[in-house]
């Protein structure tokens, strides 16, 4: 792991510590008389962590840029993972052949996007951090809601790509974000057409089959959808 990344992570941890200390102080707020020492300690921890995180920023120099790129790519990776799981889960559980085939196709593209992002993150010395399993469990839903959910996911992905394209200048990054953006625009276009076709459908889809992701992507820190 590169130095910049470790320093950036420490900065994040310090910020999180300061936030936790403030939260704990708020929770104890009503017990001022009971725990004055604890309140005092939490106050010291919080302000020290805040100061230290600001100071860490001074030492990062150029490194902060690399760390911020990794963080941004990890945010994108979470959206792609959500897409991989949602599309494939829905494809596994839906009876309509046409929708199954579309969702499978979209899901396969999201896997390619996740691979691209994992490679970029590693190249920058970071660690890919996909979304956690609990986000993927879903209650029964209508086909209309299902398509709406996919449209929202695509919109989020396009917005992130555009945000990145406005900030980053590295050819490798802009090529990847540009490619992903075009794919997501295609997905949105197709989904809108599908939406028009199925929006009156009241069919309920029960999610009762699990989706097991391909072994060759990095699902290491991740738990496949189970139950």
Least spacing, CB of residue 157 vs Fe ion, in Å? 5
What's the CA gap between 215 and 201, in Å, rounded?
Answer: 35
Kindly identify the residues of this chain, within the stretch 108-147, that bind Fe ion according to CB under 5 A. 110, 113
Residue among 92 and 184 whose Cβ is closer to Fe ion: 184
Chain centre to alpha carbon of residue 6: 20
Kindly identify the residues of this chain, within the stretch 145-164, that bind Fe ion according to CB under 5 A. 154
Kindly identify the residues of this chain, within the stretch 64-103, that bind Fe ion according to CB under 5 A. 80
What's the CA gap between 115 and 110, in Å, rounded?
Answer: 9
Contacting residue, 90, 187, 207, 213, with Fe ion by CB under 5 A: 187
* Whole-number CA gyration radius for the chain: 22
What's the CA gap between 86 and 167, in Å, rounded?
Answer: 29
Residue among 9 and 190 whose Cβ is closer to Fe ion: 190
| Residue 181 near Fe ion by CB under 5 A | no
What's the CA gap between 211 and 216, in Å, rounded?
Answer: 15
Residue among 40 and 152 whose Cβ is closer to Fe ion: 152
With CA atoms as reference, report the closest residue to 181 among 48, 80, 57: 80
With CA atoms as reference, report the closest residue to 87 among 134, 163, 138: 138
Least spacing, CB of residue 210 vs Fe ion, in Å? 22
User: Of 6-14, 48-56, 106-114, 191-199, which segment contacts Fe ion by CB under 5 A?
Assistant: 106-114
Chain contacts with Fe ion (rule: CB under 5 A): 80, 110, 113, 154, 184, 187
């Amino acid at each position: 792991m590169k130095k910049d990344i470790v320093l950036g992570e420490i900065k994040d941890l310090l910020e999180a510590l300061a936030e936790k200390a403030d939260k704990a102080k708020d929770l104890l707020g009503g017990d001022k008389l009971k725990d004055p020492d604890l309140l005092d300690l939490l106050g010291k921890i919080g302000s020290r962590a805040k100061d230290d995180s600001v100071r860490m920023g001074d030492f990062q120099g150029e490194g902060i840029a690399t760390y911020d790129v990794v963080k941004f790519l990890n945010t994108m990776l979470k959206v792609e993972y959500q897409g991989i799981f949602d599309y494939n889960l829905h494809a596994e559980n839906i009876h309509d052949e046409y929708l199954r085939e579309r969702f499978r196709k979209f899901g396969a593209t999201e896997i390619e996007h996740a691979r691209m992002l994992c490679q970029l993150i590693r190249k920058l010395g970071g660690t890919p951090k996909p979304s956690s399993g609990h986000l993927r469990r879903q209650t029964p839903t209508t086909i209309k809601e299902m398509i709406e959910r996919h449209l929202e996911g695509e919109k989020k992905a396009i917005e992130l790509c555009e945000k990145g394209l406005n900030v980053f200048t590295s050819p490798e990054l802009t090529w990847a974000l540009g490619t992903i953006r075009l794919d997501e625009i295609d997905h949105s276009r197709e989904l809108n057409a599908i939406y028009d076709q199925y929006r009156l459908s009241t069919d309920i889809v029960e999610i009762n089959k699990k989706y097991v992701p391909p072994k060759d992507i990095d699902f290491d820190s991740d738990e496949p959808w189970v139950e």
